[in-house]
């Protein structure tokens, strides 16, 4: 059986979500906008899932707007809110679903300040605060990074933004299900969420925003999602997303503890068994399931492929473009050299990973890393 240590890329659909989706797929084909009984039943499913998502996040159900995922949620918020002349404070460690729209908006006259992280990937609160100007319209900061798991100071930043009357948007895609994300306690104005990172299906997520009147929709026609997102709702996906949120909520803090135990043992095994390794982050500032490690002198993509052949799935921050391996922009922003970034791999644990699998991964790494080093420099 393969060992999946790439849960930040995606995590398997949980049994609760699978059975909810199966039931809707086979038994509920109504269009939620139809007035007839079939439509009313589909509408009830959508609204029940909206409540499940809202309950997990401490939000009001009316603030939840379903989208095709976090990419669409981030795009909707950024393109829907910003206009030429606006200023945005953001970071150098955003997911491309935030950084790419902001690049496009910068071409249209929005000015964007991207604040650098420290060596652990955390963006200092003082640097974010110092970048705020009178014309700042939005502060946009990822809650926790997908590549390194670095957690940003969202509660403190939310308090600061609230005091100044500034809109704070946080891409919470990786944080949900791994950290408490409670909008009743944290004054963040909007977040993006994606179902497939927490046990739901791919292709569904939500923009959760306290105030929606000022957000222009990306998709118009039909008026669904109170006019914020035209198009017949993905009822099957929505039902799966709601069920996954219920399952995460039912697990409570035990989920976080279990993830942390697996991740910490993995790091301990790597650190004790292999010389020349560095955690790109640290236990106090990183998601409980994520471990990004630099294996000095190793080409990350070679180690990734060697692990893959042994049945172990991990991820390299680096992306392969037309034959050349680009180092991770996130690790470069954290001050790593291109060689150090290329020598780094991400391990992310999740549902279904057990202690025995972690021991097997440690054992294989202790064999593979010296073997690859013996082949020469990356």
Ligand X SMILES: Cc1ncc(COP(=O)(O)O)c(C=O)c1O
Residues marked active site are found at 320
CA 325 – CA 197 distance, rounded (Å): 26
Nearest to ligand X of 204, 306 (CB atom): 204
**Binding segment for ligand X among 68-76, 103-111, 118-126, 237-245 (CB under 6 A)?**
68-76
Q: Is 317 in the site for ligand X (CB under 6 A)?
A: no
Q: Is 205 in the site for ligand X (CB under 6 A)?
A: yes
Q: Is 328 in the site for ligand X (CB under 6 A)?
A: no
Q: Is 97 in the site for ligand X (CB under 6 A)?
A: yes
Which pair of structure tokens corresponds to residue 275?
């010389």
Shortest CB 274 distance to ligand X, Å: 27
Q: Is 95 in the site for ligand X (CB under 6 A)?
A: yes
Contact criterion met (CB below 8 Å) for 50 and 60: no
Residue 84 CA to its chain's centroid (Å): 28
The residue from 71, 148, 152, 289 that contacts ligand X (CB under 6 A) is: 71
The residue from 3, 21, 42, 69 that contacts ligand X (CB under 6 A) is: 69
Nearest to ligand X of 205, 242 (CB atom): 205
Calculate the dihedral angle through the C-alpha atoms of 90, 111, 134, 187, rounding to the nearest 10 degrees: -30
Closest residue to ligand X: CB criterion: 69
CA 287 – CA 279 distance, rounded (Å): 13
N-term to C-term CA, the chain: 30
Q: Is 292 in the site for ligand X (CB under 6 A)?
A: no
Contact criterion met (CB below 8 Å) for 179 and 171: no
Q: Is 174 in the site for ligand X (CB under 6 A)?
A: yes
CA 232 – CA 32 distance, rounded (Å): 8
Residue count of the chain, please give it: 378
CA 94 – CA 341 distance, rounded (Å): 17
Binding to ligand X (CB under 6 A) within 222-241 occurs at: none
Nearest to ligand X of 174, 234 (CB atom): 174
Nearest to ligand X of 100, 112 (CB atom): 100
Helix axes 235-251, 15-27, angle to 10 degrees: 150
Nearest to ligand X of 137, 346 (CB atom): 346
Shortest CB 72 distance to ligand X, Å: 7
* Nearest residue to 245 (alpha-carbon basis) of 192, 190, 197: 197
Which pair of structure tokens corresponds to residue 330?
């996130």
Size of the site for ligand X (CB under 6 A): 12
- Chain residues that interact with ligand X, rule: CB under 6 A: 69-71, 95, 97, 142, 146, 171, 173-174, 194, 205
């Amino acid at each position: 059986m393969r060992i999946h240590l790439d849960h930040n890329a995606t995590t398997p659909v949980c049994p609760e979500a699978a059975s909810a989706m199966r039931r809707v797929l086979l038994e509920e084909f109504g269009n939620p906008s139809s007035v007839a009984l079939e439509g009313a039943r589909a509408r009830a499913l959508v609204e029940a899932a909206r409540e499940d998502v809202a309950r997990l996040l401490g939000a009001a159900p009316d603030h939840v707007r379903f989208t095709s995922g976090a990419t669409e949620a981030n795009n909707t918020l950024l393109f829907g809110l910003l206009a030429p002349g606006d200023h945005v404070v953001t970071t150098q460690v955003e997911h491309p679903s935030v950084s790419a729209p902001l690049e496009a908006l910068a071409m249209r006259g929005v000015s964007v300040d991207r604040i650098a992280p420290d060596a652990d990937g955390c963006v200092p609160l003082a640097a974010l605060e110092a970048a705020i100007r009178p014309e700042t319209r939005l502060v946009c900061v990822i809650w926790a990074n997908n590549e390194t798991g670095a957690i940003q100071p969202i509660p403190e930043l939310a308090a600061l933004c609230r005091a100044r009357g500034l809109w704070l948007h946080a891409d919470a895609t990786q944080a949900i299900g791994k950290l408490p994300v409670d909008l009743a306690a944290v004054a963040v104005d909007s977040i993006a969420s994606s179902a497939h990172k927490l046990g739901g299906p791919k292709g569904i997520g939500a923009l959760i925003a306290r105030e929606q009147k000022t957000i222009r929709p990306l998709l118009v026609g039909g008026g669904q999602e109170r006019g914020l997102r035209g198009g017949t709702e993905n009822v099957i996906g929505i039902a799966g997303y709601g069920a996954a949120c219920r399952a995460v909520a039912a697990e409570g803090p035990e989920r976080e503890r279990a993830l942390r135990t697996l991740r910490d043992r993995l790091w301990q095994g790597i650190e004790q068994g292999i010389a020349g390794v560095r955690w790109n982050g640290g236990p106090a500032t990183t998601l409980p399931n994520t471990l990004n490690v630099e294996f000095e002198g190793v080409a990350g993509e070679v180690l990734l492929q060697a692990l893959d052949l042994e049945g172990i799935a991990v991820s390299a921050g680096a992306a392969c473009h037309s034959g050349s391996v680009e180092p991770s922009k996130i690790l470069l922003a954290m001050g790593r050299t291109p060689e150090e970034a290329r020598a780094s791999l991400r391990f992310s644990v999740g549902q279904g990973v057990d202690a025995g699998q972690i021991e097997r991964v440690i054992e294989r790494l202790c064999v593979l890393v010296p073997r690859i080093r013996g082949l020469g420099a990356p």
